[in-house]
């Protein structure tokens, strides 16, 4: 059975460029970049060059890039690192990834709501801002519904109403689709994760605007200019840079191609499956995002059947045990808990083909029909 | 058959999955995530889900986690708290079997195209003649037919309990022979959503407001007070603030409305009968064969009555018209909310939930 992979928002296949770039650093080029001998210097050179690539793609200076173990660490370093230095209130959107949301909640922060399309309520943001606020965190693109947030506006409002605040943006889901260097040019901190754009899992970065000091999460050997101790993941960092370079190089073409595929998939499903609607406003979403709501369907069951048919997708976020959790994003958008049980996230990416969309359009309507036929509770459309 | 095996992460359901594979079934494992709060003994902690998943990996079968947390709150935890608030002594494991394992999960299995659901319960399901029978497990000390009495014909027809034919020792031997990581995991004992540290009292204190009550004897003389009538159980002797040294006295009635606990000497704890509600007949009217006459008899008939999970069955007569169990010899009072399961030899015939004794209800209204 062939695999139809429609879960790129969870993770993406590793790009050949990234894989090839990593291999030497997992074999013969095994030096520790903190050392002084030839093997060490070679590793140091590799991460320095990778830092140049990441900085250029984000429109930052190389010394502003801190390599981390992934997006979650980058988000946590941003939130707790700023609060550790500045004290004060923390504000984030209600639809942040848990890596931001739980870090903000742990510090007693406030959340700002979104409209039914998933876009940040800027009036509510202004109300939440004052001189006490030390950090504002708003993601550029949402991981569940793909909504793009007006982070440029967020920066402008923060400078005006909370002049002491640092602005952070989680751009993990955005980087494959949007010109982050341009859209987030004024943002102080940017978090990204390699495996969302064809790099390996377990590596990410935080861009930290020059002049902003963060309290480190990890202390030790003082790597990454005292901002993130621990021997760098050399192969991972090299792979991330190669993947990012390829992503940015191909981005315009990929966006155009995947937008057409996504539109065909979303239109096909909403037109053939009764009670199927799109969550969020498609005109304000990243290209890879096709998030749907299916009336009278428990996605948890649908995903088992899709899995058996070789179609990989997800509902929303998962908890530690692997069970589906009700989505805080859909709740914030005002979707009823009953309807949220039927949330299906199909996410497309750089490898998605016409054949993948064909297969999804063949399998999903049939399986939804099967589940509705077998459910004694379903209201037949 | 395509079988969905509910795997709790314990040894019994691990071996159940292995036995089903051995028998040639197409087996998929699943673990229900039921309780999101604190837990230390539960069947849905992350550690137990890990164990279930690792056993499934070892057996080479797929494993899914189903989040039935909302259903568990609504069907098990909510009624548990409400039952205590009414002065009863609920059994949440029975409600979980009734509403989750053999209802919600069975529905999910149907939706996914499975022919049957399997669990690691120690009991025997057999099809003889035209109907399904539910009998005690081979290991009498571990028998769990009591907590499965709510299974009717429709459920039994789609339920497999492979380890019911084995003793617990045999189950552990098989698990060890297969090298299953759960082979020597201890049995779970307690209510999964209540921690040993906080206990029942703390759990209920967070969910209802306790009612202080007076402790009286059968003549109505006030003997002591308790701070929470909702925590008192029929048959309880300690923790009532009664002076030691005298004749031991036991709770014979819990009356939340009157904020009163009645105690009596040991003989007063004995009763001749108990009336049941929510009767569940194994041979129910939903039998797959509609031509089979209803097995529910009109006349009273002799039974063996089991009044707690590991209680000794006692001889009694059951009158189905009044849902009353009359014990042959006086028996300890059954706290309202407890399940009473009636057997013929080793076979479950019917079960239900004990009502508060009528005589006491009458007293409390005076």
A112 falls within a domain: yes
Q: How close, in Å, is residue A370 to chain B by CA atoms?
A: 8
Scanning every residue of chain B, which has its alpha carbon at the shortest distance from the alpha carbon of A299?
B66
Asked if A301's CB is within 8 angstroms of B108's CB, the reply is yes
CB-count exposure of residue B141 (10 Å: 0-12, 13-18, 19+): exposed
Residues A259 and A242 in one domain: no
Ordered per-residue pLDDT tens for chain B, 366 residues: 999 999 999 999 999 999 999 999 999 999 998 887 766 554 456 788 889 999 999 999 999 999 999 999 999 999 999 999 999 999 999 999 999 999 999 999 999 999 999 999 999 999 998 899 999 999 999 999 999 999 999 999 999 999 999 999 999 999 999 999 899 888 876 788 888 888 899 999 999 999 999 999 999 999 999 999 999 999 999 889 887 778 899 999 999 999 999 999 999 999 999 999 989 999 865 444 444 445 567 789 999 999 999 899 999 999 988 999 999 999 999 999 999 999 999 999 999 999 998 555 445 444
Residues A73 and A200 in one domain: yes
Residues A141 and A162 in one domain: yes
Q: Tell me the chain B residues in contact with residue A309 when contact means C-beta distances shorter than 8 Å.
A: none
Give, in order, the Cα–Cα distances in Å from A345 to each of A5, A178, A193, B365. Answer: 12, 20, 20, 58
B322–chain A Cβ distance below 8 A for any pair: no
Give, in order, the Cα–Cα distances in Å from A174 to each of A15, A76, A283, B332. Answer: 17, 18, 15, 68
Selecting from B31, B45, B111 the residue whose C-beta is nearest the C-beta of A374 gives B111
B33–chain A Cβ distance below 8 A for any pair: yes
A381 falls within a domain: no
Top CATH class of B199-268 equals: mainly beta
Angle between helices A98-106 and A71-86 (to 10 degrees): 30
A379 falls within a domain: no
d(CA A74, CA A78): 6
A375–chain B Cβ distance below 8 A for any pair: yes
> Which of A218, A246, A274 lies at the terminal end of a domain, its last residue?
A246
Instruction: Give the CATH number for residue A337.
Output: 3.90.1150.10
pLDDT of residue B45: 67
Asked if B67's CB is within 8 angstroms of A323's CB, the reply is yes
Residues A226 and A324 in one domain: no
Q: Tell me the chain B residues in contact with residue A301 when contact means C-beta distances shorter than 8 Å.
A: 108, 111-112
pLDDT of residue B99: 96
Asked if A319's CB is within 8 angstroms of B111's CB, the reply is no
Pairing of strands B63-67, B26-33: parallel
Asked if B110's CB is within 8 angstroms of A322's CB, the reply is no
CB B143 within 8 A of CB B313: no
Asked if A319's CB is within 8 angstroms of B67's CB, the reply is yes
Please give the positions of A annotated as active site: 319
Scanning every residue of chain B, which has its alpha carbon at the shortest distance from the alpha carbon of A375?
B111
- Length of chain B, please? 366
Asked if B66's CB is within 8 angstroms of A323's CB, the reply is yes
pLDDT of residue B40: 57
Q: SS3 sequence, chain B?
A: CEEEEECCCCHHHHHHHHHHHHCCCEEEEEEEECCCCCCCCCCCCHHHHHHHHHHHHHHCCCEEEEECHHHHHHHHHHHHHHHHHCCCCCCHHHHHHHHHHHHHHHHHHHHCCCCEEECCCCEEEEEECCEEEEEECCCHHHCCHHHHCCCCHHHHCCEECHHHHCCHHHHHHHHHHCCCCCCCCCCCCCCCCCCCCCHHHHHHHCCCCCCCEEEECCCCCEEEEECCHHHCCCCCCCCCCCCCCCCCEEEEEEECCCCEEEEEEHHHHEEEEEEEEEEEECCCCCCCCCCCCCCCCCCCEEEEEECCCCCCCEEEEEECCCCEEEEEEEEECCCCCCEEEEEECCEEEEEEEECCCHHHHHHHCC
The count of domains in chain A is: 2
| A vs B: CB pairs below 8 A | 42
Q: Give tens-digit pLDDT for A286-297.
A: 999 999 999 999
Q: How close, in Å, is residue B31 to chain A by CA atoms?
A: 9
> Which of A214, A246, A278 lies at the terminal end of a domain, its last residue?
A246
Instruction: Please report the residues numbered 300 through 329 in chain A whose beta carbons come closer than 8 angstroms to any beta carbon of chain B.
Output: 300-301, 304-305, 307, 319-325
Choosing from B30, B43, B93, B192, the catalytic residue is B192
A305 falls within a domain: yes
End-to-end CA distance of chain B: 60
Q: How close, in Å, is residue A310 to chain B by CA atoms?
A: 13
Q: Tell me the chain B residues in contact with residue A374 when contact means C-beta distances shorter than 8 Å.
A: 110-111, 113
Selecting from B31, B45, B111 the residue whose C-beta is nearest the C-beta of A371 gives B111
Residues A172 and A255 in one domain: no
Tokens of B267: 């003989």
d(CA B274, CA B296): 19
Asked if B65's CB is within 8 angstroms of A321's CB, the reply is yes
Asked if B66's CB is within 8 angstroms of A300's CB, the reply is yes
Q: How close, in Å, is residue B105 to chain A by CA atoms?
A: 11
Asked if B108's CB is within 8 angstroms of A323's CB, the reply is no
Residues A215 and A98 in one domain: yes
Pairing of strands B2-6, B26-33: parallel
Q: What is the ipTM of this complex?
A: 0.83
pLDDT of residue B358: 59
Is B280 marked active-site?
A: no
Q: Tell me the chain A residues in contact with residue B64 when contact means C-beta distances shorter than 8 Å.
A: 304
Scanning every residue of chain B, which has its alpha carbon at the shortest distance from the alpha carbon of A338?
B70
Selecting from B46, B64, B107 the residue whose C-beta is nearest the C-beta of A304 gives B64
* B270-361 has the same fold as B2-177: no
Residues A266 and A216 in one domain: no
Of A229, A330, A296, A302, the closest CA to residue A6 belongs to A302
Q: Tell me the chain B residues in contact with residue A371 when contact means C-beta distances shorter than 8 Å.
A: 111
pLDDT of residue A380: 39
Instruction: Please report the residues numbered 91 through 110 in chain B whose beta carbons come closer than 8 angstroms to any beta carbon of chain A.
Output: 107-108, 110
A218–chain B Cβ distance below 8 A for any pair: no
Instruction: Give the CATH number for residue A59.
Output: 3.40.640.10
Asked if B33's CB is within 8 angstroms of A319's CB, the reply is yes
Please state the domain extents for chain B. 2-177, 199-268, 270-361
d(CA A150, CA B121): 55
Cβ contacts of B133 within 8 Å, gap of 6 or more? B124, B125, B126, B127, B156, B282, B347
Task: Indicate which of A323, A325, A327, A367 best probes the interface with B, i.e. most B CBs within 10 Å of its own CB.
Answer: A323
A380 falls within a domain: no
Residues A220 and A283 in one domain: no
Residues A77 and A46 in one domain: yes
d(CA B243, CA B256): 23
Asked if A322's CB is within 8 angstroms of B112's CB, the reply is no
Asked if B64's CB is within 8 angstroms of A321's CB, the reply is no
Ordered per-residue pLDDT tens for chain A, 381 residues: 899 999 999 999 999 999 999 999 999 999 999 999 999 999 999 999 999 999 999 999 999 999 999 999 999 999 999 999 998 999 999 999 999 999 999 999 999 999 999 999 999 999 999 999 999 999 999 999 999 999 999 999 999 999 999 999 999 999 999 999 999 999 999 999 999 999 999 999 999 999 999 999 999 999 999 999 999 999 999 999 999 999 999 999 999 999 999 999 999 999 999 999 999 999 999 999 999 999 999 999 999 999 999 999 998 755 555 667 778 999 999 999 889 889 999 999 999 999 999 999 999 999 999 999 886 544 433
pLDDT of residue B244: 75
- Indicate the CATH number for domain B2-177: 3.40.50.620
Q: Tell me the chain A residues in contact with residue B44 when contact means C-beta distances shorter than 8 Å.
A: 321
Q: Tell me the chain A residues in contact with residue B49 when contact means C-beta distances shorter than 8 Å.
A: 321-323
Q: Tell me the chain B residues in contact with residue A321 when contact means C-beta distances shorter than 8 Å.
A: 31, 33, 44-46, 49, 65
The H or E element that residue A226 is part of is none
End-to-end CA distance of chain A: 32
Instruction: Please report the residues numbered 160 through 199 in chain B whose beta carbons come closer than 8 angstroms to any beta carbon of chain A.
Output: none
d(CA A88, CA A313): 40
Selecting from A301, A321, A322 the residue whose C-beta is nearest the C-beta of B111 gives A301
The CATH architecture that domain B270-361 belongs to is Beta Barrel (2.40)
Of A154, A114, A112, the closest CA to residue A330 belongs to A114
Selecting from B44, B67, B111 the residue whose C-beta is nearest the C-beta of A324 gives B67
B74–chain A Cβ distance below 8 A for any pair: no
User: Domain range spanning residue A364?
Assistant: 4-11+250-374
Asked if A321's CB is within 8 angstroms of B44's CB, the reply is yes
Tokens of A87: 């004290």
Scanning every residue of chain B, which has its alpha carbon at the shortest distance from the alpha carbon of A322?
B65
pLDDT of residue A129: 97
Q: Tell me the chain B residues in contact with residue A376 when contact means C-beta distances shorter than 8 Å.
A: 107
């Amino acid at each position: 059975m062939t695999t139809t992979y429609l879960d790129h928002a969870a993770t993406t296949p590793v790009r050949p460029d990234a894989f090839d770039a990593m291999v030497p650093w997992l074999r013969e080029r095994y030096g520790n970049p903190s050392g002084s001998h030839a093997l060490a210097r070679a590793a140091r050179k590799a991460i320095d060059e990778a830092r140049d690539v990441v900085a250029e793609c984000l429109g930052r200076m190389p010394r502003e890039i801190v390599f981390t173990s992934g997006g979650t660490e980058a988000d946590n370093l941003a939130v707790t690192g700023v609060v550790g230095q500045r004290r004060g209130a923390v504000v984030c959107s209600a639809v942040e990834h848990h890596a931001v949301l739980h870090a903000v909640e742990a510090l007693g922060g406030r959340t700002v709501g979104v409209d039914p399309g998933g876009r940040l309520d800027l009036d509510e943001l202004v109300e939440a801002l004052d001189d006490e606020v030390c950090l504002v965190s708003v993601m550029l693109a949402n991981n569940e519904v793909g909504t793009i947030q007006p982070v440029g506006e967020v920066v402008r409002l923060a400078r005006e109403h909370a002049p002491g605040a640092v602005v952070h943006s989680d751009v993990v889901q955005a980087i494959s689709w949007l010109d982050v260097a341009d859209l987030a040019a004024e943002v102080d901190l940017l978090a990204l994760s390699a495996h969302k754009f064809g790099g390996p899992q377990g590596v990410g970065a935080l861009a930290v605007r020059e002049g902003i000091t963060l309290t480190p999460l990890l202390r030790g050997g003082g790597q990454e200019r005292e901002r993130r101790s621990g021997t760098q993941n050399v192969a991972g960092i090299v792979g991330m840079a190669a993947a990012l370079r390829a992503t940015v190089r191909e981005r315009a073409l990929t966006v155009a191609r995947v937008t057409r595929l996504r539109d065909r998939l979303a239109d096909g499903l909403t037109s053939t499956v009764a009670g199927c609607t799109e969550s969020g406003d498609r005109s304000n979403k990243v290209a890879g995002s096709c998030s749907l709501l299916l009336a009278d369907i428990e996605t948890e069951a649908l995903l088992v059947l899709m899995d058996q048919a070789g179609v990989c997708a997800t509902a929303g976020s998962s908890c530690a045990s692997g069970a589906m959790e009700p989505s805080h994003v859909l709740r914030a958008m005002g979707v009823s808990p009953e309807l949220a049980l039927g949330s299906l996230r199909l996410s497309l990416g750089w490898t998605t083909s016409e054949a993948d969309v064909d297969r999804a359009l063949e399998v999903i309507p049939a399986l939804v029909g099967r589940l509705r036929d077998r459910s004694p509770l379903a209201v037949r459309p | 058959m395509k079988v969905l095996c509910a795997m709790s992460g314990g040894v019994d359901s691990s071996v159940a999955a292995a036995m089903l594979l051995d028998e040639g079934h197409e087996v998929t494992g699943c673990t229900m995530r039921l309780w999101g709060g604190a837990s230390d003994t539960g069947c849905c902690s992350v550690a137990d889900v890990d164990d279930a998943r690792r056993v499934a990996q070892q057996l080479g079968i797929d494993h899914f986690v189903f989040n039935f947390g909302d259903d568990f709150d609504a069907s098990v935890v909510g009624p548990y708290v409400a039952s205590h608030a009414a002065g009863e002594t609920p059994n949440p494991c029975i409600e979980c079997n009734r509403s989750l394992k053999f209802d919600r999960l069975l529905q999910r299995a149907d939706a996914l195209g499975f022919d049957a659901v399997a669990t690691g319960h120690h009991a025997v399901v057999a099809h003889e003649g035209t109907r399904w029978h539910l009998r005690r497990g081979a290991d009498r000390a571990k028998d769990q037919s009591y907590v499965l009495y709510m299974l009717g014909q429709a459920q039994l027809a789609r339920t497999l309990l492979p380890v019911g034919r084995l003793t617990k020792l045999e189950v552990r031997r098989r698990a060890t022979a297969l090298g299953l990581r759960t082979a020597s995991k201890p049995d779970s004992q307690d209510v999964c959503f209540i921690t040993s540290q906080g206990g029942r009292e703390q759990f209920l204190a967070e969910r209802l407001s306790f009612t202080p009550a007076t402790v009286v004897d059968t003549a109505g003389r006030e003997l002591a007070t308790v701070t929470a009538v909702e925590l008192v159980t029929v048959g309880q002797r300690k923790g009532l603030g009664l002076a030691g040294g005298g004749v031991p006295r036991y709770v014979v009635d819990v009356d939340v409305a009157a904020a009163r606990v009645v105690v009596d000497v040991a003989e007063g704890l004995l009763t001749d009968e108990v009336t049941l509600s929510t009767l569940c007949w194994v041979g129910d009217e939903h039998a797959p064969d509609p031509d089979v006459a209803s097995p529910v008899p009109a006349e009273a008939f002799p039974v063996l009555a089991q009044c707690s999970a590991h209680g000794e069955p006692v001889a009694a007569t059951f009158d189905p018209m009044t849902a009353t169990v009359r014990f042959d010899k006086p028996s300890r009072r059954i706290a309202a909310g407890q399940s009473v399961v009636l057997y013929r030899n080793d076979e479950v015939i019917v079960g239900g939930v004990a009502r508060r004794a009528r005589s006491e209800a009458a007293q409390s209204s005076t």
